[in-house]
Amino acid sequence: MVDVITCQQLTKFYQENKALDGLDIEIKKGQITAILGRNGSGKTTLIKLLLNMISPTSGQIFYEDCPVGKLGHGLYRRTAAILESVDNTYDYMTGKENIDYFSGLLGQRAAFSSPKVQELLDRLTLQDAIHSPAGGYSRGMRQKLALIIALLSDADILFLDEPTLGLDFESCRAIADTLKWLVQTEGKTIILTSHQADLIEELADRVILLDKGKLLFSGDLASFKAKNKHESQYMLTCKEGEFNKGRATMVDGAYQFLFASHEELSLWLQGHPDCLPFVTKIEEMNQRIDDVLSHFYKEELYD
């Protein structure tokens, strides 16, 4: 997979405060990369540097071997962004008027009626509200509108800062599905920040983890999850038997037990031999993103 963005020893100071400390990272073309980290870890600073909104104290950023500073307006033709701290829409305009206004700034005519915009309106379930003032939109509706506007330029790299923060389930689902569709059908490169583990689990191909301005991890999601030294958890399901019902969770008429390790599971089975005929399933549970993050923060495993 081609590296669309490369950072070499990227460092940023704000006066005496070192916001980023010598980052070496690569972002792959046509994939979704999640930038993770606690508040103050340097995520927003990194995105602003990648967008050339601020300059690094030292180090370099390349877009396919071209230094970011030499791209000029070419950078803004290639990238689009929705930043949490920036309002991308006008309240007094309808959704359609917002789309018409921003497409006009791009020199586009009749963008609203284009197949692409209509497809996005359908996917993001915004058709029914598109002729209403954006000031009356919910947070989720505003985020959907901002995403459509960001995609008007047909940029191949999309930056999203907390794209589903504070949104209801339906809005999160619509945005997540649309992002996957954009990668699969148009080959977009998406770089996002998020604190939502379920969103990262579903969307991310690669992970960049920052802490205190340092790089904890950069690589694919599977390798990230494999960094957790803790054993996998196991779920045992059985229909009946002689055991402590208080420990079990009843699901669809069956009892489920969660074990922290294979050893714990084996000991339980040895102590409850009469239950073996009633065991219907034993499954290894996937490592949760939250558990992996806790492991990194506890161990401070810097790359």
> Among 6-10, 140-144, 247-251, which is the least confidently predicted range?
247-251
Residue 64 in this model has a pLDDT that exceeds 50: yes
CA distance 257 to 277: 16
CA distance 6 to 277: 56
Average pLDDT value over all residues in the chain: 87
Confidence label for 97 from pLDDT (cuts 50, 70 and 90): very high
CA distance 237 to 17: 52
Residue 286 in this model has a pLDDT that exceeds 70: no
Residue 245 in this model has a pLDDT that exceeds 60: no
Give the pLDDT confidence score for residue 137 in this predicted structure.
Answer: 95
Cβ within 8 Å of residue 295, ≥6 positions away: 227, 228, 229, 230, 301
Residue 294 in this model has a pLDDT that exceeds 80: no
pLDDT tens column, 265-277: 888 888 888 778 8
Mean pLDDT of 15-30: 94
Higher per-residue confidence, 242 vs 160 = 160
36 SS3 class: strand
Higher per-residue confidence, 153 vs 284 = 153
Higher per-residue confidence, 109 vs 205 = 205
pLDDT tens column, 109-164: 878 999 999 999 999 999 999 999 999 999 999 999 999 999 999 899 999 998 98
> Among 155-164, 188-197, 208-217, 280-289, which is the least confidently predicted range?
280-289
Give the pLDDT confidence score for residue 303 in this predicted structure.
Answer: 47
CA distance 39 to 22: 19
- Domains in the chain (CATH in brackets) are 3-226 (3.40.50.300), 234-286 (no CATH)
> Among 41-45, 67-71, 270-274, which is the least confidently predicted range?
270-274
Q: What percent of the chain has pLDDT over 90?
A: 53
Strand residue runs (E) in the chain? 3-14, 17-28, 32-36, 58-63, 66-67, 79-82, 157-161, 189-193, 206-211, 214-220, 234-238, 249-251, 254-259, 279-284
Residue 301 in this model has a pLDDT that exceeds 60: no
Residue 210's beta-bridge partner residues? 215
Query: If residue 48 lies in a helix (H) or strand (E), which one and from where to where?
Result: helix 43-50
